[in-house]
Amino acid sequence: MARGNSGDRCAIVAVSASGITSAGIFAGPQGGPALISGGMSVPGRDLVESESDVLLFFLNRVRDAVVRASAGLTSEQQRMPGVPSGTSLLGLIKHLAAVEEHWFQRVFLGEDRSTDMSMDVPAGVTRDELVAAYRRACARSDEIVGACPSLSVLAKTVNPGEDGVVSLRRILAHMIEETARHAGHADILRERVDGATGL
């Protein structure tokens, strides 16, 4: 368990087998749909009633954008490096799945795990496998957030290279920043592949 300054504790619950709703979208902290491709409303829920709901709503929108950018392409196109550094659409998905695990499971929960945050995609790994792994990681992250009574709860461990522990609120804000940045990269990579925009 993680403890915040006020003594609050997080009761961490197990993620479901798939971490995905029957509709194939990420589930929110109360089991409702959190991944919405457009618009500002979530059916049956008021975004202003919960800070975590608002943050997860926007995090899930940019998660969705990253996945959408690689849809409808051949395997070769999905793996195609779009810039001299070698970044590809599938590499972004692989990287972000590891980033989710790193921040929510390794840093916040203090789990002993190593993550490969590179964008190198093994030849035998398919888009479906990478997207499924990303969705599982995101669903686990959402469950961790939903199980905490306060976003002020502090992480159990320090992120390597930083000086002190941070709150779950800061981790969520960082994940929105990180994922949105890569969603923009994915948009540009997709346009370079086949000219598609506004996905």
Q: What is the CATH number of the domain that holds 167?
A: 1.20.120.450
In this structure, is residue 99 part of a structural domain?
A: yes
Q: Count structural domains, the chain.
A: 1
Per-residue pLDDT tens over the stretch 83-138: 999 999 999 999 999 999 999 999 999 999 889 999 999 999 999 999 999 999 99
Residue 199: inside a domain: no
Rounded Cα–Cα distance for residues 157 and 107 (Å): 5
Q: Would you say residue 158 lies in a domain? A: yes
- Calculate mean pLDDT across residues 161-182: 97
Identify the residue whose tokens are 């590499």. Answer: 91
117 found inside a domain? yes
Considering the entire predicted model, what is its pTM? 0.78
